[in-house]
Structure 1
Amino acid sequence: MPSKKITVQIMSPGILEDDILVLGDNLIKQWKIPTHLSLLLAFGSFRHRVKVIPLSRTDGVRMSQELARKMGIQQKSPLRLTYRPHSSTIQFGPLLGVLLSQDYPGNPEKPFGQITLFCKELVNACYRQGVYVYFFTPKHIGTNSGQLSGWVYGNGWKQTQVPAADVFYNRLTSRKLENKPSVQHFMKEVKSRYGSHFFNEKYLDKNEVFEALSHDASLLRYLPESHLFRNFAMLKTMCSKYSTVFLKPVKGSLGKGIIRISRLEGGAYQTLTAQVGGTRKQIYPSLSKLFSSLSGKMKTTRYQIQQGLHLIEVDHRPVDFRALVQKNISGKWNTTSIVGRIAGSQHFVSNLARGGSLSTVKDAIARSSLPAGIKGKISVRLKRAALEIAQGVDAQLPAHFGEFGIDLAVDVNGRVWLLEVNSKPSKNDNTPMGEGKIRPSVKQVIEYTRFLSGF
């Protein structure tokens, strides 16, 4: 039975009992909802026995203030409703819980700092589709996995008690938080106890992704040669094969700590290290001296060593592409957007946090030095690569993902390469387009929530 979007009207105290639900006559007839039986009301992990009373000329639902408080919902909230006759259940939802790294209760205007705008955009998108959303952090998780404290929006941000959600969207931006025993236990509990879905379940490390994709022969054409960096012999082999190699922290993000190694004439080597203020350049007389300088770092940081690529450039700056690939209302992967990222003048990495700038794919390709005959094919190649890589990661890794930020590069011959797959694409870089506007990327998260929850 398809769900119907309705508005919840919360009655003043004393008008309705907590076990009474008032529904429109038409809805009761359409779904053959029995009015003489005790039915189960479900909302996320919340369960309550109710009796339905019909009311003519109403499209919404009326409930007591106490029942709404137990459900954690606000006045005039649009929700979807469906009746499941086999279990005599009236189900409201879907309920979406968004897990964030941090909140700032002392700043009720911007309780989530930089990503508050994104959260408000998510609220607006949910409101339009009849999805109820709340936001919480690891510190809101208590001993009872069926109930937690969360932020909701209704005439401003406020905290309230909410049930465990049908679907959880993991937006934690720290591996340390994600691996906390309380977070891991909570994820396990809500999945096994309440059948909740948890997507973007975990951070990916670079080596894990390349290792997984190498098992799919159809994806090998996108993979530069990459290994977990272990010893001098590996450095020597890679540097003899390629004039440039990259060392990338396996768990790094935002381009931090990437080292580019280039072979110079006369046996010397140059390193460029990505730092916050720019790029640090060093020259070593030999490869063994270079390796000695790295050995200290290798004790604390695991690196992936990767073949260097001759990327296309715009104004003598390397350019790469970030594709956002998401699952849609049918649960299938599709490419939501692709943007070009041009490295800043003092950097060899293109991340916006390192001074890079955004460009459309069309403009970046037009301004590049690619031969004219190839330029027209790049957009289609990028889209296809992003989609195939997303499907490959999803098939090869045993975790639930709903979106990926996939970094792709194009070399001077027009070949597309994979640089990195990110399971927590940033929501700070692309600010919302203004009050009331909802980007396709945000709409897609809500549609995938509906797919997972059966609404």
Structure 2
Amino acid sequence: MLKTYKIEQFREKEYILYLPSRWEPEKADFPKTAVLGTKRQGVVCKRHPNGRNVIGISSALAKSMNLPEKVTALSLYTKDDCLYLGVLIGVFTSGFTNFKLSPIGERSYFFRKLLSVQSSLGVIPFIFGEKHIDWENGLVNGYFHFGDGWVTETVPFPNVIYDRLPNRRSEKRKTYKEIKDRLQREYGIPWYNPGFFNKLDLFERLESDESVSQYLPETHSFQSFEEIERMLSLYKHVFIKPKNGSLGNGIHKLTFDRQAQDYYCRFRDTEGKNRLVRFSSLERLMNSVFKNRSLDSFLIQQGISLLTEDSRPIDFRIHTNKDEKGSWQVSAMAGKVAGVGSVTSHANNGGVVKSLAELFPDPVRNTEVERSLKEAALRLSHAIECNMEGYIGEIGFDLGIDEDGSIWMFEANSKPGRAIFSHPHLRNFDKLTRKLALSFGVFLSQQALHHPEELMQ
């Protein structure tokens, strides 16, 4: 991790930068150019005249560089004859409002917490959207939060961009693709975590990867009723899921009762109620439950007999993040117990978040489960990175453990939800995932600077 220093401004008309007393330059001569994001400015660098281990920046230089006044800490690093003032991280999203207290709507709280880790990392993160870009001057009018409310500041184009678009609809807009392509092509700015995963596409890419194929339940695009019949005879139950669904919406569980020769479907209706319906034939079930819906937009997935608590299935949410060294690590882990009569373990359907210690009070069993889930999540993270395009920095997995102890992957999300962090035992992991999300931005900025050829994709 880059060394971070406190930064102070002083009144001076010249472009002067005082360097911390303990900062060690790579060369005998001090740099002659200061860089913030994509902005460069000639500068006179000196050791701090009072021998203090802080960065001192003249008011003229700060104004010229568009450095926000309330930035309190920055990292310093050099390349050639340039001194880089921290890492400017632009968090790209949509859904902005005109309300000063919540400029990004209900997601303002998450973004405020994301930005709160900035001083410990020496980075300058901000939120922006397509309407905040000044292409002519290479500037962004971004939203900042320094602990006492939202403010807007004009800053240079960032070193890296962290994609936090909220949904697939905003991601498919033509303007989004044009902005991303232009910033990457013309300015060489790495753009990480782009793109929501398509469930079927992801499974098809991973099933040929021998390192993770054992974690994948049989999964197909809908083809025919005969295919569903075959899978029901093999697995006792199957799930029908939207290929591009989220939050558990649209998931149906199909079961066949061999003794009664009846088909059952459990799902959540449009009013948010859990329903269980019975039909004498699969064709009648499908024509009724999926009436007026194209089955081509759904996939069929093998059902798994999962571990349970009080007869309610348990699955696990595992967060993985890339860190400041570009290495994958497990950053959070929790169990989710399905709601009564629910197809999924989502909180909006009665699901309950529990720590592993609550689910497995025996220390030996707890350690065994944690080790197995970590190994699976890290293997899957590496495999997804190798098989998907773009710079992936975080993944949220929904994993299951069957009655034989085997691990299964049901979902992988490139922009994972954060419902598990409502649990009091997981709040420290909430902070860790936020720090790592920005730490990976630091890593990418260093790669773009020192090894740009390795970022070419």
Question: TM (normalized to structure 2)?
Answer: 0.87
Structure 1 residue 429: deviation in Å?
Answer: 4.9
Q: 1:106 aligns with which of 94, 99, 111?
A: 99
CA contact under 8 A between 2:398 and 2:412: conserved in structure 1? yes
Q: 1:303 aligns with which of 294, 298, 303?
A: 298
Percent identity between matched residues is: 26
The AA in structure 2 aligned to 1:258 is I
- Alpha-carbon distance in structure 1 between the residues aligned to 2:301 and 2:109: 37
Q: 1:68 aligns with which of 42, 63, 66?
A: 63
Q: 2:262 aligns with which of 228, 248, 268?
A: 268
1:211-246 C-alpha deviation (Å, 9 max, x unpaired): 111011231211111101133332232233232110
CA contact under 8 A between 2:13 and 2:59: conserved in structure 1? yes
2:409 is aligned to 418
1:130 is aligned to 122
1:152 is aligned to 144
2:193 is aligned to 200
- The 3 A distance-change label for structure 1 pair 144 and 335 is farther
2:309 is aligned to 314
1:122-180 C-alpha deviation (Å, 9 max, x unpaired): 32311112111101234434545932221012342111222221122112121111122
The AA in structure 2 aligned to 1:146 is G
1:258-310 C-alpha deviation (Å, 9 max, x unpaired): 01111123432111113462312222221121232366454286111011111
1:289-340 C-alpha deviation (Å, 9 max, x unpaired): 1232366454286111011111111111111000001111211111112100
Instruction: For 1:227-246, list aligned pairs within 5 A.
Output: 227-246=220-239
Given the alignment of the two structures, is residue 215 of structure 1 paired with residue 214 of structure 2, yes or no? Answer: no
- The 3 A distance-change label for structure 1 pair 374 and 83 is closer
Q: Secondary structure at the match of 2:375?
A: helix
| Structure 1, 198-207 or 231-240: larger mean CA deviation | 231-240
CA contact under 8 A between 1:339 and 1:359: conserved in structure 2? yes
Structure 1 residue 410: deviation in Å?
Answer: 1.0
The AA in structure 1 aligned to 2:221 is L
Structure 1 residue 201: deviation in Å?
Answer: 1.1
CA contact under 8 A between 2:306 and 2:403: conserved in structure 1? yes
1:7 is aligned to 6
Q: Secondary structure at the match of 1:400?
A: coil
- The 3 A distance-change label for structure 1 pair 140 and 231 is farther
Q: 1:293 aligns with which of 280, 283, 288?
A: 288
* Unmatched 5+ stretches in structure 2: 448-457
Question: TM (normalized to structure 1)?
Answer: 0.87
- Alpha-carbon distance in structure 1 between the residues aligned to 2:324 and 2:181: 25
CA contact under 8 A between 1:278 and 1:347: conserved in structure 2? no
- The 3 A distance-change label for structure 1 pair 92 and 308 is same
- Alpha-carbon distance in structure 1 between the residues aligned to 2:417 and 2:96: 17
- Alpha-carbon distance in structure 2 between the residues aligned to 1:9 and 1:52: 15
1:349 is aligned to 344
1:279 is aligned to 274
2:329 is aligned to 334
2:454 is aligned to none
The AA in structure 2 aligned to 1:269 is Y
1:439 is aligned to 431
2:89 is aligned to 96
Structure 1 residue 360: deviation in Å?
Answer: 1.1
- Alpha-carbon distance in structure 1 between the residues aligned to 2:144 and 2:107: 15
- The 3 A distance-change label for structure 1 pair 45 and 131 is same
The AA in structure 2 aligned to 1:274 is R
Equivalenced residue count is: 440
- The 3 A distance-change label for structure 1 pair 417 and 77 is same
- Alpha-carbon distance in structure 1 between the residues aligned to 2:25 and 2:301: 61
2:453 is aligned to none
The AA in structure 2 aligned to 1:22 is L
The AA in structure 2 aligned to 1:292 is N
1:377 is aligned to 368
- Alpha-carbon distance in structure 2 between the residues aligned to 1:248 and 1:238: 15
| Structure 1, 45-54 or 119-128: larger mean CA deviation | 45-54
Given the alignment of the two structures, is residue 16 of structure 1 paired with residue 16 of structure 2, yes or no? Answer: no
| Structure 1, 403-412 or 152-161: larger mean CA deviation | 152-161
2:158 is aligned to 165
- Alpha-carbon distance in structure 1 between the residues aligned to 2:309 and 2:139: 52
1:51-87 C-alpha deviation (Å, 9 max, x unpaired): 3355511431212257436524224531112222x3x
The AA in structure 2 aligned to 1:410 is I
* Unmatched 5+ stretches in structure 1: none
Instruction: For 1:36-75, list aligned pairs within 5 A.
Output: 39-52=32-45, 55-57=48-50, 58=52, 59-65=54-60, 67-68=62-63, 70-75=65-70
The AA in structure 2 aligned to 1:136 is F
Structure 1 residue 103: deviation in Å?
Answer: 3.1
CA contact under 8 A between 1:8 and 1:63: conserved in structure 2? no
- Alpha-carbon distance in structure 1 between the residues aligned to 2:412 and 2:209: 16
2:108 is aligned to 116
1:85-125 C-alpha deviation (Å, 9 max, x unpaired): x3x212112111112332334142x3334443433333231
The AA in structure 1 aligned to 2:358 is D
- The 3 A distance-change label for structure 1 pair 41 and 30 is closer
The AA in structure 2 aligned to 1:8 is I
